[in-house]
Structure 1
Amino acid sequence: MTDRPILFSGPMIEALLAGRKTQTRRLCRYANDEHLVHVVQIDVPSEPGWFGDEEGDVRFFSGYAPGDRLWVREAWRTHKAYDDLKPSELGGEETVWPELDRDNCDYHGRYRHGRFMPRWASRLTLVVTDVRVQRLQAITLGDICAEGLGSSIYDFKPVQRAFDAWIALWDSINGEGAWARNPWVTAVSFDVRKGNIDNLEAAHG
């Protein structure tokens, strides 16, 4: 089991909090896939790391494994009195306001990007339950819902609306044409725990 941070945008944080999002897809690092032109999914070992075919012609890297705990990073602020301090200089006692939830109080400090959120400030933890490495276009309607775009498959009529929404989202994050390139991705399924990673045992014990 490994603990690691994971970054999400505001809309995806909303989906996590609402219980709609139980999957995420991240681009998979690979050395060579010219031998896998027609392959859409391959088995992932139980431990994270490099893996591939027996000949060594294809080598992927999966940074996730079932049982891993991911502490969620999101945009945030502290009191304006701490605006001159770097995140590493904060002591962990400061009040944190997620950007998604904050009001317009005049004592809120400057905007801080989610990539700089320290572990102690995280309010969501994801416990990995399954990891797949697959082509992006192997995603199903159920997967799209689990990615947070809908509460159930019945939200989308016709079904193509779900795929159009997913394609637009993926391209907005990864650049125009990213869906069409059909890259290899790591599809991570997880349970959402509302609480800081270091307090999970106390909250769910």
Structure 2
Amino acid sequence: MKIRPSNTMKPILFNTEMVRATLDNRKTVTRRVVKPHNTRKAKRCEYLQGEGLWFDDEINEFDKDTHIKDYSISSCWIGTEIYIQKYASYRPGDILYVRETWQYAYDLDGNEQPIEETGRYFYAADYDSGPFGFWVNPDGTHRENMPWRPSIHMPREAARIFLRVTDVRVERLQDITDEQAEKEGCSDYTSTALGFFYVWDAAFKPKDRALYGWEANPWVWVIEFERISREEAEHEQNKN
């Protein structure tokens, strides 16, 4: 069964280090936690991350597919490709634009008024500190540095990184290999797979690590991608 891409360009959130690794062509895969799809049923079935999902890697002779059982959906086995098609946020062939920490700012004239034609987007990944020594708020008050806007609020028109999803699969977090860790942009440790522990846990608030941290070993979506240009992304979207 072939998984068809959607015809809508989708956003995906990357933190600053992920953006830098992608821009440096060091990151070509990302992992996202597989969370219960029906939280009410998951609670009723005492679904726990890492306990409520089962994977059968034997190929079924009938449908030539591996199978998954997700107790937040049903106690029945479902083909992996069908599971990805119905429940994964991203599927092979999808076109994504990366939302990153950003700001839109202007240069100021001698009277500290914005110069309209200088308005442009800035990205936190490009700077160790803000690009301006000081910032004038809309009410005229000053602050020392430019405030960054969170990635979740970045409009599509501000995107500079576009991706094509090439593969999606499901696995346990700790199944990551050194090769895969390097594709995640992690290359500063003797064993990159072990070093990925720090990269992964840093993305979660301390209160969430018991459920989604490295030690919890959650099931994750493994999303492989290739970087494409804005023109390619828009062409792919129009073609679909």
Using structure 1 for the length normalisation, give the TM-score: 0.71
Runs (5+) with no aligned partner, structure 1? 44-50, 82-92
Amino acid at match of 2:201: D
**How far off its partner does 1:13 sit?**
0.5
Cα pair 2:106 2:120 within 8 Å, conserved: no
**How far off its partner does 1:29 sit?**
2.1
Query: Matches of 2:218 and 2:58 in 1, distance apart?
Result: 13
Deviations 1:31-88 (A, max 9, x none): 5564756x48699xxxxxxx9449931676311110001100011111259xxxxxxx
1:110 aligns with 2:147: yes
State the partner residue of 1:180.
215
**Which SS does the other structure have where 1:25 is aligned?**
strand
Deviations 1:151-191 (A, max 9, x none): xxxx753x3xx233201111122344511111110000000
Pick the aligned partner of 1:24 from 30, 45, 66: 30
Query: Matches of 1:179 and 1:15 in 2, distance apart?
Result: 21
Cα pair 2:29 2:184 within 8 Å, conserved: yes
Query: Matches of 1:73 and 1:54 in 2, distance apart?
Result: 29
State the partner residue of 2:200.
170
Aligned sequence identity (%): 32
Deviations 1:98-147 (A, max 9, x none): 12225633587532111100001100011000001111111111110000
Pairwise mapping of residues 25-64 of structure 1 onto structure 2 (< 5 A)?
25-30=31-36, 31=42, 32=47, 34=51, 39=55, 52-53=68-69, 56-57=74-75, 61-64=87-90
**Which SS does the other structure have where 1:110 is aligned?**
coil
Pick the aligned partner of 2:12 from 2, 6, 9: 6
Gap change, CA 1:11 and 1:68, over 3 Å in 2:
same
State the partner residue of 1:74.
100
State the partner residue of 1:149.
186
Query: Matches of 1:42 and 1:65 in 2, distance apart?
Result: 22
Amino acid at match of 1:99: A
Query: Matches of 2:221 and 2:21 in 1, distance apart?
Result: 20
RMSD: 3.4
Query: Matches of 1:94 and 1:41 in 2, distance apart?
Result: 53
Cα pair 1:42 1:134 within 8 Å, conserved: no
State the partner residue of 2:120.
95
